[in-house]
Structure formats: structure tokens, C-alpha cells
């Protein structure tokens, strides 16, 4: 009973803290703008299964992608054991899901094997980060706190796997003393149980309790650390893939307000209500976080900071300032900075800074070629060019700010009806004196 009470208090505290964090994040989402309707559910589910569950984009780097996939799949399997621990902790049962019979044997065996595989994979990740210079892990946006965050999360996952295997190992060893039948199958832990055969039954029981509490407390702590870490993608990546833009990557979204005005000019008799046609637009494009859509913010929270986007960006490769990863990290950091003030004082709140220029420079934005290599490479389908394009729109439409070459194109379109510096009367001069043989 004491164990159940202690567990219940710990669980309530964990849920309470996590709920406050979720409430804070939801309050930030309320500050954002609409994005696109969520339709074609079947297609979205298939993309989610293929990209998120199947980890297809991760396997573009086959070796390290394989180890990352092991970690992801391992977490999915081990989650069943975590659910069982919560039920056991609340009701004082022992491996309550054993009623599933052969299915339980499969789950426990898979979880036991994945516990070892995930642990080995995490050790490999830590060695790469600590002792190898991986270029895509570096960059102006990757501060020391970013590296500490990654190392802390990886270390906690490693401890989770150690405590899981320790718990299973002591359980298998304890069964030998009790003479009962093992509930579930533990191919890895039963092997390691032989190394503690010299301990007494009371010692094994004590070790089992230590590993059990260590594992569940690490889960609770890790769950509340994740929202403040790059590893928040543990929660956000799968829904972010489900919410992917379904349009082809090369198709840039139009601005509804501009589209409406153009249609009114071309088709004045079209069915558009006067109210909606004359509705004021708060701002063209994105200047700060109050201008972003909920999907833009979702992308920033889901970002894994893996650097795959930046590593394939042609602008970044050729030495320009643009880093697609930095765009997402800056957006997330800016919301974290300004969001509380807007929640408290309304969207009109200002701290005399903005996402544009204070976080992201014009030079970065105009370096983008909108080739969509970053969006194509991103393992969780983040669409960086959409944000970049909207920030450019603000510069051009609100501040008439653009590189000289682009301003020349704008002037030519306005004066000549084409991007080139020729009048409409001279467009066909190139075709004079050309004879075409029709035979």
C-alpha cells in the first residue's frame, strides 16, 4: 500500500507538471494563424506510416539511420512495458498484462532485445557526438547548450535502457529463488541473470525494486524534460508527419488576401461578399511570431536539430549564411521569448524586437533558392521554404526591401509587362527576317 501511495503521488505530480507545460504550449498555438484544412486522412496516414513509422527518410544515411530506426522502434515496443508499470504501480499488481498470453511473450521478448539494441545505439550516438567532429552537428545556431541538451537526453535514454535490463534481469533471477514460472520471455535478461546468481534472494529483491523505481522515475523525469529539449520530437515527430503539406514541394502557397484582390480585379462580378473583399489584413507575410501559422510553429517544435536540411542546402554549402535548421530553431526560440508576453498582454504586445532581423537576417532569407532540398531531406517533413517565403513577402510588400536585381525585375514587370528590359513593342524583333521552311 505504501508503494502504491508513493507511486500515485509521483504519477500525479508528473501529470500535473506535464499538463502545465502542455497548457503553456497550447496558449502559444492560440497566438498563431490558420494554416490549411486537415483533409485526405487516408493519404496522411499512409505518409505517417511510411515516413514516421517506417523511418524511410532516415535510411537515406543507411548506417546511422539504421541505429536511429532501432531506437525509434525500440521506444515504440518498450512503451507497452511502461504502460504495464504504471498499472502495476497504481494497483499493486505484478506484470498485469500477462493475461495476453503469447502476445505478452512476444512483447516482452521484443522489449528485452530492443533494450539492448537501443542501449548500444545510444552509446554509438554519444561516442559520435563526444569524440568525432560531425559537420552537420555544428553551426552558428548550435550553441553549447544545444550540445549539452543532446548529450543529457542521450545519457538519460541510456540509463533508461540499463534500468530496464536490470529490472528484467533481477526479475528472472528472483524467479529462480521463488520456483515460479516466468511471466513473459526475456532472452537477453535471462542470460545476464546468470551473472548475479551469487546474490541472495533478499538482495535480488532489493535490486529489483531499485531498478524498478529508477526506470519509472527516469520515464517521468524524461517526459517533463522533453518539452524543453530538442528531443521533444519524441512526441511531436509522428503528428508532424501526419500534418505534412500534401502539395508538391515546388508549389508555394498563395496569400489568400492577395488572391482575393486579384480575382476581384479580373472578375469584378464574381461572387465575393463586400465584407470579405474589404477585410483588412493585419500584415503581409511574416515579421514576427504572431504572423506565423500553427503549422510553422508545429514544425519548429518538432525539429530534431539533426542538421540534415542544412547539410544539403546549396546556399549553405557555398558559404552563404542561410541554414534552414537555424530558421526553425530561431522561430521556436522567438516564440519562447515573446509568447509569454503576448499571452499575458495580447497579440499587440511588443518587446521592441522581432523574428526578422533580430533573429533572422535579410541576407539569410535572400540566399534561399527555394529548391526545397531541405524539405525533401527533413526526416519529419518540415517545410522550411514556406517560412522563408513569407518573411520575404513581408520585406517586399510591407517595406519594399529586396536585392537590387529583384527590384529591377519588379520595375520591368510594372513598366514593360515582363521581367526583361524591353518594351512590349520590341518583343518580336528577334523574329524578323527569320524564314521558316514549311516543306
What percent of the chain clears pLDDT 90, i.e. is strictly above it? 70
Same domain assignment for residues 156 and 17: yes
pLDDT tops 60 at residue 429: yes
Give strand pairing partners of 293. Answer: 33
Residue-range definition of the domain harbouring residue 347: 256-420
- The pLDDT confidence band at residue 321, using thresholds 50, 70 and 90, is very high
Same domain assignment for residues 205 and 343: no
The predicted model gives 60-88 an average pLDDT of 94
Same domain assignment for residues 156 and 94: yes
Q: What is the DSSP string of 81-146?
A: HHHHHHHHHHH--SSGGGGGTHHHHHHHHHHHHHHHHHHHHHHHHHHHHHHS--GGG-STT--HHH
Same domain assignment for residues 171 and 283: no
- The pLDDT confidence band at residue 439, using thresholds 50, 70 and 90, is low
pLDDT tops 60 at residue 273: no
The residue written with cell numbers 548506417 in the block is 63
pLDDT tops 60 at residue 272: no
Report DSSP state, residue 290: G
pLDDT of residue 358: 95
Same domain assignment for residues 324 and 388: yes
- The pLDDT confidence band at residue 362, using thresholds 50, 70 and 90, is very high
The predicted model gives 233-249 an average pLDDT of 93
Same domain assignment for residues 194 and 339: no
CA distance 373 to 1: 57
pLDDT tops 70 at residue 275: no
Domain assignment of residue 431, yes or no: no
Domain assignment of residue 432, yes or no: no
- The pLDDT confidence band at residue 179, using thresholds 50, 70 and 90, is confident
pLDDT tops 90 at residue 421: no
The predicted model gives 233-241 an average pLDDT of 93
Same domain assignment for residues 183 and 121: yes
Mean pLDDT computed over every residue of the chain: 90
pLDDT tops 60 at residue 271: no
Domain assignment of residue 35, yes or no: no
69: which 3 cell numbers? 530506426
Same domain assignment for residues 310 and 194: no
pLDDT of residue 281: 61
Same domain assignment for residues 207 and 341: no
pLDDT tops 60 at residue 276: no
- The pLDDT confidence band at residue 231, using thresholds 50, 70 and 90, is confident
3-state secondary structure of 181: coil
**Count of residues making up the chain:** 439
Which CATH number fits the domain that encloses residue 330?
A: 1.10.1060
Q: Which of 121-125, 129-133, 204-208, 434-438 shows the lowest mean pLDDT across its residues?
A: 434-438
Helices (H), 137-230: 144-178, 187-192, 201-225
Domain assignment of residue 40, yes or no: no
The predicted model gives 6-23 an average pLDDT of 95
pLDDT of residue 353: 94
Tell me the whole-structure pTM to 2 decimals: 0.89
Domain assignment of residue 387, yes or no: yes
Domain assignment of residue 265, yes or no: yes
The residue written with cell numbers 489568400 in the block is 256
Nearest to residue 213, comparing CAs of 167, 271, 155, 145?
167
Same domain assignment for residues 196 and 274: no
- The pLDDT confidence band at residue 365, using thresholds 50, 70 and 90, is very high
Nearest to residue 230, comparing CAs of 135, 288, 143, 130?
143
User: How many other CB atoms sit within 10 Å of the CB of residue 348?
Assistant: 7
pLDDT of residue 60: 92
Domain assignment of residue 163, yes or no: yes
CA distances from 139 to 300, 307, 318, 322, 361 (A): 17, 9, 14, 11, 16
pLDDT tops 90 at residue 21: yes
Last residue of a domain, one of 201, 233, 265: 233
pLDDT of residue 369: 94
Domain assignment of residue 313, yes or no: yes
CA distance 59 to 73: 14
3-state secondary structure of 13: helix
Which CATH number fits the domain that encloses residue 133?
A: 1.20.950
Last residue of a domain, one of 233, 264, 284: 233
| Tens digits of residue pLDDT in 373-400 | 999 999 999 999 999 999 999 999 999 8
- The pLDDT confidence band at residue 255, using thresholds 50, 70 and 90, is confident
Determine phi and psi for 293, rounding to 5 degrees.
-90, 165
Number of domains in the chain: 2
Same domain assignment for residues 268 and 217: no
167: which 3 cell numbers? 529490472
Query: Which residues contact residue 81 at a Cβ distance below 8 angstroms, ignoring those fewer than 6 apart?
Result: 107, 108, 111, 164
Same domain assignment for residues 216 and 335: no
Give strand pairing partners of 356. Answer: 360
pLDDT of residue 196: 84
Amino acid at each position: 500500500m505504501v508503494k502504491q501511495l508513493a507511486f500515485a503521488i509521483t504519477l500525479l505530480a508528473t501529470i500535473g507538471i506535464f499538463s502545465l507545460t502542455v497548457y503553456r504550449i497550447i496558449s502559444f498555438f492560440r497566438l498563431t494563424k490558420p494554416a490549411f484544412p486537415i483533409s485526405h486522412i487516408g493519404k496522411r496516414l499512409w505518409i505517417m506510416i511510411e515516413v514516421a513509422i517506417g523511418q524511410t527518410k532516415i535510411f537515406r544515411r543507411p548506417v546511422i539511420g539504421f541505429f536511429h530506426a532501432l531506437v525509434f522502434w525500440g521506444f515504440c515496443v518498450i512503451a507497452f512495458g511502461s504502460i504495464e508499470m504504471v498499472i502495476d504501480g497504481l494497483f499493486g499488481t505484478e506484470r498485469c498484462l500477462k493475461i495476453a498470453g503469447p502476445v505478452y511473450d512476444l512483447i516482452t521478448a521484443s522489449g528485452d532485445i530492443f533494450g539492448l539494441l537501443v542501449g548500444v545505439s545510444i552509446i554509438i550516438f554519444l561516442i559520435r557526438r563526444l569524440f568525432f567532429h560531425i559537420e552537420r552537428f555544428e553551426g552558428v545556431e548550435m550553441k553549447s547548450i544545444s550540445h549539452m541538451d543532446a548529450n543529457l537526453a542521450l545519457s538519460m535514454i541510456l540509463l533508461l535502457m540499463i534500468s530496464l535490463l536490470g529490472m528484467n534481469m533481477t526479475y528472472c533471477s528472483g524467479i529462480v529463488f521463488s520456483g515460479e514460472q516466468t511471466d513473459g520471455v526475456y532472452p537477453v535478461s535471462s542470460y545476464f541473470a546468470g551473472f548475479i546468481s551469487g546474490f541472495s534472494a533478499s538482495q535480488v529483491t532489493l535490486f529489483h525494486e531499485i531498478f524498478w523505481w529508477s526506470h519509472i522515475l527516469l520515464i517521468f523525469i524524461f517526459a517533463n524534460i522533453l518539452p524543453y529539449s530538442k528531443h521533444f520530437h519524441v512526441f511531436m515527430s509522428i503528428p508532424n508527419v501526419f500534418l505534412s503539406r500534401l502539395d508538391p514541394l515546388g508549389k508555394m502557397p498563395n496569400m489568400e488576401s492577395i488572391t482575393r484582390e486579384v480575382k476581384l480585379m479580373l472578375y469584378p462580378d464574381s461572387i465575393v461578399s463586400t465584407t470579405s473583399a474589404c477585410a483588412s489584413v493585419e500584415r503581409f507575410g511574416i515579421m514576427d511570431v504572431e504572423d506565423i501559422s500553427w503549422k510553422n510553429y508545429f514544425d519548429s517544435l518538432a525539429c530534431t536539430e539533426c542538421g540534415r536540411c542544412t547539410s544539403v542546402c546549396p546556399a549553405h554549402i557555398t558559404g552563404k549564411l542561410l541554414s534552414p535548421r537555424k530558421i526553425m530553431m530561431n522561430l521556436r526560440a522567438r516564440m519562447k521569448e515573446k509568447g509569454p508576453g503576448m499571452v499575458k498582454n495580447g497579440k499587440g504586445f511588443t518587446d521592441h524586437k522581432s523574428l526578422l532581423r533580430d533573429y533572422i537576417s535579410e541576407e539569410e532569407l535572400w540566399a534561399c533558392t527555394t529548391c526545397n532540398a531541405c524539405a525533401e531531406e527533413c526526416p519529419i517533413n518540415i517545410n522550411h521554404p514556406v517560412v522563408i517565403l513569407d518573411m520575404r513577402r513581408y520585406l517586399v510588400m510591407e517595406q519594399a526591401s529586396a536585392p537590387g536585381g529583384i527590384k529591377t525585375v519588379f520595375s520591368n514587370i510594372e513598366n514593360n509587362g515582363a521581367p526583361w528590359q524591353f518594351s512590349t513593342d520590341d518583343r518580336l524583333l528577334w523574329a524578323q527576317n527569320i524564314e521558316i521552311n514549311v516543306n
